[in-house]
Each structure stands twice: as structure tokens, then as C-alpha cells.
Amino acid sequence: MHGKGLKFGSYTSAGTNTCDKAGFPGGLGHEQQDANLFALWGVDYLKYDNRDNRGVDARQRYQAMCDALAKTGRPIVYSLCEGGRTTPKVWTWGAPVGNLWRTTGDISDKWSSRIGKAQENRVLDGYAGPGHWNDPDMLEVGNGGMTGTEYRTHFGLWAMMSAPLLIGSDLRKVSDADLAVLTNADVIALDQDTAGRQAAVLSAVGGLVVYNKVLANGDRAVALSNETGATAAIATTAFALGLGGSASYTLKDLWTKPRARPPALRCRTGFRERRAAR
């Protein structure tokens, strides 16, 4: 895999078994043994689930694997797939332990699920930053359950929220249009902006949501997201985005690329999304 320029991700659980119905063993009580094996295999990314935990505190279980991975000497990205199920919530203690943590339950390839995950994750912007990220679950782009506009919204909002962009579809089968979404270099760059700030919600009224992300160079990325089933116009201002003092601003639409600045929106850099009625 490394010879093909790929990274190697593996999966196990912080309990006695994984989620597979066959009952494959998890890592509870065998953290160092498993971590050593992952390092031997050349694993680059470990997703650590929360199955059959036997009542052991989540912080204790996830810290044990964190310590075991560190002792191997191999840098391995550590994903805490705890799902926000336990108290205290994983995003309040996850930063010193792992690199990312699931903030939601499992996503599915439908609009209601996608919106629900975004709504749960978007209020946690204060917990994300370089090296520690909120993870609202994998991308469904290309699986066929949503429209092209809905997939652009999905991908764009995950990028606005600095979420891990984990492709959950078979790349041999996705359409050219969906592949174009997954390979949009500008949106990917927005996700990977070096400041690592998750977008904040400026307003959310009646399913019409304005997101604002401050970028490393001082620009602003803006998402105007319509969560309803009806066509709607959404607008914001440079003042609301924390900008001001200039006579004009340049707008770059990350889906349609450079275009003239519309009078309703004045910002330097923006991601704009409008979803028509289905």
C-alpha cells in the first residue's frame, strides 16, 4: 500500500469485541500487544471503536491505547470513534488523547441524516483545532442516495467544519460528477486551511444557516446553507463576517469559481450553497 503512495488505516475496538457480527476481538486489556502489531504492519491511521466496553470508563480505555501507540515510536493518526455517547463528552477530553473524535452516531446516505450530523457537529467549533478535530462521520458522496446539490452541500459543510474528509464510497463506481465533488481542490484546501478553525454559525433561522470560517490569511469562507425543502435566498454582510472598512470585496465561489460579486454578499472568499426544492 505504501508503495502505491497510499496510507494504511486499520480498525479495532476499545472493548472486548469489534462491531463485526463474527465477534472479532477488540483491544481491551491488550492495548500494547495490539499497538505493537499495528506498528509492525506499518499502520498510519487507527480507528478505535466503542464496542463491548464492559463498563470501563471511556477516558481510561482510550488513554490506554494512546499510551500504547506512543510507546511504539510510530506516528499513527488516532481516531476516537466514541460517538459522543458517554459523559463527559469526548470532545471535552479528546484533544490530549487522540487526533479526531466522532461527535455523532453513524451517518447514512440520505439528506435527513446528513443534516442531522451537521447540526450536531456545528455547535462544537470551540473544541476543534490543529491536530484535534471534530468528526461528524464519513462522507456519503457517490453512494447514490442524495442529489448532486445535496452532495456538494455535504462535502462543502464538512470542509467548512474542518472535518476529516473520509470517502465512504467505492471510487471505482462513483459518477464523474460525484468524483468532481470529491476532488474539488479549492474545497479541500478550505478544509485543510492551516489555521484549523472550524466554521462558526452566524445565524440559523428557519433552516437557513450562515457559516463563517476565518482562514489563516485573514480571508473569510462563507457557507449559505438551506436545510429546508423550499427554494430560499440567504444573505450576510461583510460586517457580520468580521470584515469592514473597504469599499468592495472579491468573492470566489468554490463551486463555480470566480464570478462577479452579488450585491447581497460582500466578503473576500466564500463558499456558497443554495439548495433548490426537491
The confidence band for 265, taking pLDDT boundaries of 50, 70 and 90, is: very low
Q: Residue 227: which region, alpha, beta or left (left: phi > 0; alpha: psi -120 to 50)?
A: alpha
Phi-psi region for residue 245, left (φ > 0), alpha (ψ -120 to 50) or beta?
left
Residue type, 210: V
Q: What is the pLDDT of residues 164-181, one digit of tens each?
A: 999 999 999 999 999 999
| Pairing between β-strand 252-253 and β-strand 257-258 as defined by DSSP bridges | antiparallel
The pLDDT, as a whole number, for residue 277 is 35
Q: Is the pLDDT of residue 267 over 60?
A: no
Structural domains of the chain in order of their starting residue, each with its CATH number: 2-191 (3.20.20.70), 200-258 (no CATH)
Which position has the higher pLDDT, 264 or 235?
235
pLDDT digits (tens, 9 = 90+) for 12-62: 999 999 988 888 999 999 999 999 999 999 999 999 999 888 889 999 999
Confidence band, pLDDT 50/70/90 cuts, at residue 86:
confident
Query: What's the Cα-to-Cα distance from 148 to each of 14, 141, 180, 275, rounded to whole Å?
Result: 37, 9, 10, 10
125 and 118 in contact (C-beta within 8 Å)?
no
Grid cell of 202 as nine digits: 452566524
Tens digits of residue pLDDT in 102-142: 999 999 999 999 999 999 999 999 999 999 999 999 999 99
Based on the number of CB atoms within 10 Å of its own CB, is 253 exposed (0-12), middle (13-18) or buried (19 or more)? middle
Q: What pLDDT was estimated at residue 258?
A: 54
User: Over the stretch 189-242, which tens digit does the pLDDT of each residue have?
Assistant: 999 999 999 999 999 999 999 999 999 999 999 999 999 999 999 999 999 999
Q: Tell me phi and psi for residue 63, to 5 degrees.
A: -65, -35
Active site residues: 49, 106
